[in-house]
Amino acid sequence: MTDRTLRGRVAIVGIGETAYYKHGKSPDPEFVLALKAILAAAKDAGIDPRRIDGFASYSNDRNDPSRLAAALGLPELRFSNMQWGGGGGGGAGAVANAAAAVAGGLADCVVVFRSLAQGQFQRFGAAPPGGVATGEAALNAPYGVMSPAQRYAMRAMRFLHENKIGDGAQRAIALASYAHAQKNPRAVMNGKPLTAEAYDASRWIVEPWRLFDCCMENDGAAALIIVPAEQAKDFAKKPAYLLGAALGSEYRNGARGHNAPLYATSSFTTVAPHLYAMAGVKPKDVDVLQSYENFTGGVLMSLVEHGFFKAEEANDFLVPDNLMAPGGKLPLNTSGGNLAECYMHGLELQVEAVRQLRGESTAQVKDPHVSMVIAGPMVTPVSSMILGSVETL
Amino acid sequence: MSYLKPGLPAPVAENDGLDAPYWEGTRRGELMVQRCKSCGTWQWGPEWICHKCLSFDIGWVQVEGRGKIYSWERPWHPVHPALKDQGPYIVVLVELPHAGNIRMLGNLLGDPKQQVRIGAEVEAVFEPHDDAKPPFTLVQWKYR
Ligand SMILES: [Zn+2]
């Protein structure tokens, strides 16, 4: 029996993005954004887009693989996959699913993509219209708990309370994203630096989160191309090998009405150990980290659950200097992330993780070999992944 | 007089009837939750099966409406048109130690800008919305 692992079996050889827009500002329909990102990824990989034979996405992406395959004139479609549930928590899960398909021989060239035009469709941060609420919504909406921020703030509030974490910890995460975005011309918040004073003076969205603790909402698309590792050297750019991926959530995380037994978590307590076990690396080996900011408190818990520091060390660890590229202990969200580059539902984080290994980031860490991505926290299922250079294989 | 301005989505029981005993109970001023008839495990939110012993014979029992604040939040930014002029409000997650530490969500009545103390004792207050379509009753919380 062979070792059941994705470690070293596949590589990301192409990355593509559209321009990033404020929500509702995309000149293109959502399907066109998806096509443009996929074609950009193929160009980056140096391949004919007709070599693509599969698609994986997450969060119920509306751009159906069969339509994409028809539109792109693909000779055949061999893999069509949607990570089930968890919204932005599925970003690394979609990569894992694509990787499993390629490693298992189901397909040879799978695109992971996400496309969003929130002007064309309903915004995430606005309540859906309608007169009644049922099921989980019935236990929340009549009390004014409707948006994702309102849905997850109490998880973070409990964690901050249990561990006596002060305002500075969440602020440091926001400041790092904004500082990195100032170096990134693609970032929506490029040219709009954030100071600690401006953060402190910003309005509450929902306590414990201020305006700058919350992600943007944007239009755009991003795509990655995944191929078998043994072919990875034949492409135009330096490959980023998948060392590990894991997805899921702990015991009864999805219990309704906020009844997850381990409530004050980002849902990674069981996922993170699987990730490190597969990748064969430890937190101290991680050279650069992209961690999905739906809300800064979710990042905080993600970092704890992935073992970068203990909860009681959060106040000391989470200071801006530690999170800045290139010199910080743990360079975090080096493109500006969901807070300040673009809310591409987190897939821009995977793109940035690849860029770091290639040496192409606008906030480049010196000679990184292990590049990690944590997808959307506090939802279920969540997912995370670790990429490595050829030297880590 | 409701804590939040009227016009938010009205809760209705699921079409498979799973949570109907809870919503019917609130109309009578009774707090009904699930307790497994086979093993005694408390369960909330409602589900068709006991998560402990996997019995489908899961019953409903009335519990006393008191508990401790487990967590909270204070929304300021309105995301629903009905709350446009609401201002801040408090949502609490209340743990019921006498019912297996199940948690229930509601608003904390009183000054919306008051300090919220995790661990503080609270009691349930039934808030009928008789003019809503369909009529319903919410379970709110106040400091004891
Ligand atoms: Zn039972």
Spatial separation of the C-alpha atoms in residues A68 and A62, rounded to whole Å:
11
Give yes or no for residue A127 having a pLDDT over 80.
no
Shortest CB distance from B102 goes to which of A134, A157, A259? A259
For A219-234, write each residue's pLDDT tens digit.
Answer: 999 999 999 999 999 9
Answer yes or no: do B74 and B129 share one domain: yes
Q: What is the pLDDT of residue A124?
A: 65
Residues of B in contact with A206 (CB under 8 A): 73-77
Question: In terms of domains, do B71 and B55 share one?
Answer: no
- With a cut of 60, say whether residue A129 has pLDDT above it: no
Instruction: Say yes or no for a CB contact (<8 Å) between A131 and B79.
Output: no
Query: Is residue B5 a part of any domain in this protein?
Result: no
Q: pLDDT per residue over A131-140, tens digit each?
A: 899 999 999 9
User: Residues B99, B139: one domain?
Assistant: yes
B128, B114: one domain: yes
Work out how many domains chain B is built from and give that number: 2
| Residues from chain B contacting residue A263 (CB–CB below 8 Å) | 70-71, 93, 103
Mean pLDDT of chain A: 96
**CATH number, residue B103:** 2.40.50.840
Same domain, B84 and B111: yes
B2 domain residue, yes or no: no
Decide if B143 is inside a domain. Answer: yes
Complex ipTM more than 0.95, yes or no: yes
- Residue A241 catalytic? no
- In a domain, residue B6? The reply is no
Question: Does residue B4 sit within a domain?
Answer: no
How remote is the CA of residue A95 from the centroid of ligand 1, in Å?
A: 38
CA-nearest of A209, A194, A211 to A320 is: A194
pLDDT mean over A97-107:
98
Q: Is the domain of B112 the same as that of B72?
A: yes
Contacts of A255 in chain B (CB under 8 A): 45, 51
Kindly identify which residue of chain B lies nearest to residue A149, measuring between CA atoms.
B75
User: Over chain B, what is the mean pLDDT?
Assistant: 97
SS3 B20: helix
Which chain B residue has its CA at the smallest distance from A158's CA? B71
Average pLDDT (A295-300) is 98
Chain B residues whose beta carbon lies within 8 Å of the beta carbon of residue A146 = 79-80
Domain boundaries, chain A: 10-120+215-392
Q: Which one of A154, A203, A257 has the shortest CB-CB distance to B72? A: A154
Asked if the structure places residue B3 within a domain, the reply is no
Q: Within this chain, do residues B70 and B134 fall inside the same structural domain, yes or no?
A: yes
Chain A closest CA to B40's CA: distance in Å?
Answer: 17
Q: Does residue B74 form part of some domain? A: yes
Do B71 and B134 belong together in one domain? yes
Residues B47-90 pLDDT 10s: 999 999 999 999 999 999 999 999 999 999 999 999 999 999 99
CATH architecture of A10-120+215-392: 3-Layer(aba) Sandwich (3.40)
In terms of domains, do B83 and B138 share one?
yes
Classify each residue of B75-106 as buried b or exposed e, where b means 16 or more C-beta atoms within 10 Å of its C-beta.
bbbbbbeebeebeebbbbbbbbeebbebbbbb
Judged on CB neighbours under 10 Å (0-12, 13-18, 19+), B64 is exposed
For A144, the closest of B8, B47, B70 (CB atoms) is B8
Do B23 and B48 share a structural domain? yes
Number of inter-chain CB pairs under 8 A, A vs B: 134
Test the B interface: residue of A151, A203, A258 with most B CBs within 10 Å: A258
By a Cβ cutoff of 8 Å, what residues of chain A touch chain B? Answer: 125-127, 130-147, 149-150, 153-155, 157-158, 161, 203-208, 252, 255-259, 263-264
Domain span at residue B51? 12-63
Q: Across the interface, do B10 and A258 touch by the CB < 8 Å criterion?
A: no
In chain A, the percentage of residues whose pLDDT exceeds 70 is 97
Q: How confident is the model at residue A126 (pLDDT cuts 50, 70, 90)?
A: low
B44 and B88 together in one domain = no
Chain B environment of A155 (Cβ under 8 Å): 71
**B22 and B39 inside one domain:** yes
Residue A273 makes CB contacts below 8 A (sequence gap 6+) with: none
pLDDT at A372 over 90: yes
